[in-house]
């Protein structure tokens, strides 16, 4: 994700987007149904996901039934480096992340994991996703309670044995730290900027894949953060 694209590069991306409309996400996988179902009890729950550019992560979760909020931000580093320009150096410890608030009576945490690894993040890539590279684009899970942690560990183990991915699973579970919301212009970016070249090329296909692969979970409306 490079917000500071030159006009020439942006134009080239636009041409690619027009030539290849969103039909399915690149690298979409048939992630397995979790053998261990999350049981988090009643009430809204929160989890954090890192999976490359937060625009696409947020867009997918914002189209899931049961998700009440998806906020783009930074996780893993300190407060004084929690801004886009500094995080983009790749030297802050932060990952572009999304904090998801959801109703587990509608969508369970294990289902969020299945969707995440089906259409959002390739778990075999280290410090990169799609066209973006750097530690800030690493894929990681940040469980925020014991149940999430246990389910996440079991699901990663299940993924490794599933045979769905031909390369080793390198995504990691990270200990929770303070989450810092990103700048206002990053919030709900895909919804507000559907014709942005990056959105059309990389993120809109993820939402299309979500609709195709998980029609019972897909929500046509966008849940603003």
* Given 28, 34, 47, 53, the catalytic residue: 53
From the list 173, 174, 190, the residue with the least C-alpha distance to 53 is 190
From the list 153, 133, 116, 195, the residue with the least C-alpha distance to 36 is 153
List, in order, residues 6 or more apart from 172 with CB less than 8 Å away: 138, 140, 141
4 vs 25: CA distance, rounded Å: 24
Residues β-bridged to residue 45 = 102
List, in order, residues 6 or more apart from 37 with CB less than 8 Å away: 108, 110, 151
For the chain, the maximum distance between any two Cα atoms, rounded to a whole number of angstroms, is: 51
Give catalytic status of residue 220 as yes or no: no
Q: Assess contact for 18 and 73: CB atoms under 8 A.
A: no
At 35, list the tokens.
């053998």
* Residue positions annotated with a catalytic role: 53
């Amino acid at each position: 994700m490079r917000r500071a694209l030159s006009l020439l590069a942006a134009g080239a991306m636009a041409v690619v987007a027009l030539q290849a409309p969103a039909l399915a996400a690149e690298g979409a996988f048939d992630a397995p149904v979790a053998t261990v179902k999350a049981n988090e009890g009643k009430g809204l729950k929160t989890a954090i996901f890192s999976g490359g550019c937060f625009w696409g992560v947020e867009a997918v979760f914002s189209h899931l039934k049961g998700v009440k909020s998806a906020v783009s931000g930074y996780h893993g580093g300190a407060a004084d480096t929690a801004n886009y320009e500094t995080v983009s150096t790749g030297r802050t410890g932060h990952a572009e992340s999304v904090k998801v608030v959801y109703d587990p009576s509608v969508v369970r945490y294990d289902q969020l994991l299945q969707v995440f690894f089906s259409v959002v993040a390739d778990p075999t890539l280290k410090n990169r996703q799609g066209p973006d590279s750097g530690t800030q684009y690493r894929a990681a899970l940040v469980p925020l309670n014991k149940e999430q942690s246990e389910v996440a560990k079991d699901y990663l183990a299940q993924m490794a044995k599933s045979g769905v991915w031909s390369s080793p699973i390198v995504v990691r579970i990270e200990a929770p730290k303070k989450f810092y919301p990103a700048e206002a212009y990053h919030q709900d970016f895909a919804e507000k900027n559907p014709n942005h070249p990056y959105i059309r090329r990389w993120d809109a296909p993820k939402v299309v894949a979500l609709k195709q692969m998980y029609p019972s979970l897909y929500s046509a409306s966008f849940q603003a953060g």
